[in-house]
């Protein structure tokens, strides 16, 4: 499974630093896409898997979606923190896109190939 493009509209009241806000939203979308599609760890009483960062499954640069962010500036409102606001909706958007395309819903992360095949089977 791959996310090629992502779009976000962000209302943060008075926007003081548009570039900073855009970067925060882009980063949150990319991080959340990685969680949704790849990231998983497990542990037992004796070990954690994976055991090192080199083998930890993450989104790689060729798979990073093109992200477009639209900012809604409302100077009459107080400024709001919005950096983390992109993560939850990103997971939901990916899950809903899969459900819309297939008629099936995956409820556990990550959406690795075995889970996708099981949902389609």
Q: Between 63 and 50, name the one with better pLDDT.
A: 63
For domain 5-41+55-120, is the CATH number 3.10.560.10? no
pLDDT for the residue numbered 40: 80
Question: Largest Cα–Cα distance of the chain, in whole Å?
Answer: 56
Q: Where are the domains of the chain?
A: 5-41+55-120
What is the mean pLDDT of the segment spanning 66-75?
Answer: 96
Supply 30's token pair: 């990319």
Q: What is the average pLDDT value for the chain, to the nearest integer?
A: 90
pLDDT for the residue numbered 49: 67
d(CA 94, CA 100): 10
């Amino acid at each position: 499974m791959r996310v090629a493009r992502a779009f976000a509209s962000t209302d943060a009241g008075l926007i003081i630093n548009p570039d900073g806000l855009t970067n925060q939203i882009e980063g949150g979308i990319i991080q959340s896409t990685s969680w949704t599609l790849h990231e998983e760890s497990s542990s037992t009483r004796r070990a954690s898997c994976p055991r090192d960062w080199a083998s930890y499954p993450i989104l790689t640069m060729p798979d990073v979606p093109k992200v477009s962010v639209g900012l809604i500036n409302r100077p009459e409102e107080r400024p709001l923190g919005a950096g983390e606001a992109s993560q939850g909706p990103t997971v939901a958007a990916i899950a809903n896109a899969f459900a819309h395309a297939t008629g099936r819903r995956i409820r556990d992360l990550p959406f690795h190939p075995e889970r996708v095949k099981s949902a389609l089977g």
